[in-house]
Structures are given as C-alpha cells and as structure tokens.
Amino acid sequence: MTLGLQALLAFMPIALSGVLLVGLGWSAKRAMPLVYVVTALIALTAWGVSFNRIAAATLEGIIITVQVLWIIFGALLLLNTLKHSGGIASIRSGFARISPDRRIQVILIAWLFGCFIEGASGFGTPAAVAGPLMVAVGFPALSAVMFGMIIQSTPVSFGAVGTPLLVGVQGGLQRESMTQALVAQGQTWPDFFNLVVERVALGHAIAGTLIPVCLVFFMTRFFGRNRSWAEALPAVPFALFSAFAFTIPYGLAGRFLGPEFPSLLGGLLGLAVVTLAARAGFLVPRKSWDFADPKEWPSE
C-alpha cells in the first residue's frame, strides 16, 4: 500500500464526517454511527486490525464518552443554575457597571469571563454563557457570537479542567508503546506529558496575547457606526494589559501546575486584576465608545 493511499484511508473517516455533518446537514446521532462503521471496516480490511482490538477500542471510546458527557452535564448544570438563580442577571448588571465602554466590556465579558468559563466547564459553554451576556448588555447578536468564538482559541486546550489534554493525550495516545519509546530515551511518561502541557500553554499564551486586541479592532471595524479601525486604537493599551493579565498566570500554571489550571486560573486572576484596573480607570480610554442605536443596525 502506497503512502498516499494510506493517508487517504486515514483521512476518509474525518472527510466523511465533514461531508455528512456540514455538507448534508445530518445530525451527529445519524452521521457518527455511519462514520464509526466505515472506520471499523477500514481498520479491519485495510490495516489488518483484529476484531478483538477494534472491540476493545470501541469499549474504551464508550468509557471516554461517558466521562466527557459527565463533564458536559456539569457544564449545563452550572449554566442553568446561574440562569434560574438570578446569577446571570447579577453578572450582567455587574459588568455593565464597571465601564460603559463597549471596548472594555468585550474584553471583560468575552475574553476574561469567557476564558474562565471555558476553563471551568468547556464544551462551548462560553458561547452559551458569555454570548447571551453580551447580547443582554447591548451587543449585536452577530458580534456576541463572533467574539464568543474567537476567544476560545486560547483557553480551549485546557477547557473543562484540562479535559482535552487529559483525555486527548493521555487517553488518545498508545501509552504502552509511547512509554517504551520514552524509556529508551531516558524519559518517563509524566515528563513527556508535562512537556506537552508546557509547550501547549506557551504557544497559546504567545498567540493569545493578541486576541483582546483583535476583539476591539473587529468590533469597531465591523460593528461600529463608522466602521473604523482607528476607533479601536485608544483601547489597545488596555487590551494588551488584559491579555497579559490572563496569559501570564495561564502560562505559569501550565508550567508548574498541570493541565487542569491554566484557563481556570488565568481567567479568574485576570478577571479580578482587570476589573480592579477598569474600576480605577487604569489605561481606560478617556472617551467612551458605543454601538450605534439598535434601530440603525443592519438587519443582517
């Protein structure tokens, strides 16, 4: 079997899931069983994997799925508890009182609060919590969705208390063969895993430093009355300060504490520091910025 054919067979289940979910609009409960069957058939016929091994991998997948669903249950429980206890309303009014400047609000709600929620619950919870919060305080719905998605680029690898790395790396790699290879090089599995966590945290922290800056630029350019990049410039110092308030504890937690804490502690500490700074007017632009009147918003 040629290398190209091997690559094509390996990519086929991913491509099939994309075609079914995105192209044909199938639901996951219809698409994924078919993807599973195709994957198992490829493993049996093309890769020569034994039936027992496929059965064992299927059982392991079910166990991991139950673990992930349990975490999602906790995230939904948190969201609905906040919603029905009045917590969402309190959080909304609190953010609105800190600053009327939308450039400050998007950093506080989308970037810092959203990153904290991602670290605590994961699985799209920032979009489910931070997005409606932004709409409630007066953001256009499209902007709220857009900003809620953008910020997840940084905390997502450590979302849901480190689930992507704990499940994806520890459960996704073949520990036995990996451990043997590492021992041959004088390393251990914990050393390798900690190195992965450290490198992921460092890469995300470097790239994430620009995310708050992107937020304010995108907001003033695509959702402002004047469609201006320049109107974001006065908020850039505050955006960079807010970025470092998250990424510094985020990177340190990844280096010294493990995968459970970077997004959680980065969001929590960053939110506390930046909220105090905003209340004190530190680096806050002198002239407040707001969207146009909702009556002037384009229908789309």
CA distances 251 to 123, 207, 264, Å, are: 21, 12, 12
CA distances 283 to 62, 237, 241, Å, are: 50, 6, 8
Q: What's the CA gap between 258 and 104, in Å, rounded?
A: 30
pLDDT at 175: 66
Look at the block and give the residue holding tokens 């304010």.
216
pLDDT at 184: 79
pLDDT at 112: 93
pLDDT at 61: 86
Q: Burial of 203 by CB count in 10 Å (0-12 exposed, 13-18 middle, 19+ buried)?
A: middle
pLDDT at 37: 93
pLDDT along the chain (300 residues), means of 10: 81 92 89 93 89 90 80 70 77 79 93 89 75 84 90 88 81 69 79 89 93 95 92 96 96 92 93 93 92 82
pLDDT at 159: 86
pLDDT at 9: 87
CA angle 176, 179, 180 (to 5 degrees): 90
68-105 burial, b at 16+ Cβ within 10 Å, e below that, comes to eeebbebbeebbeebeeeeebeebbeebeebbebbbbb
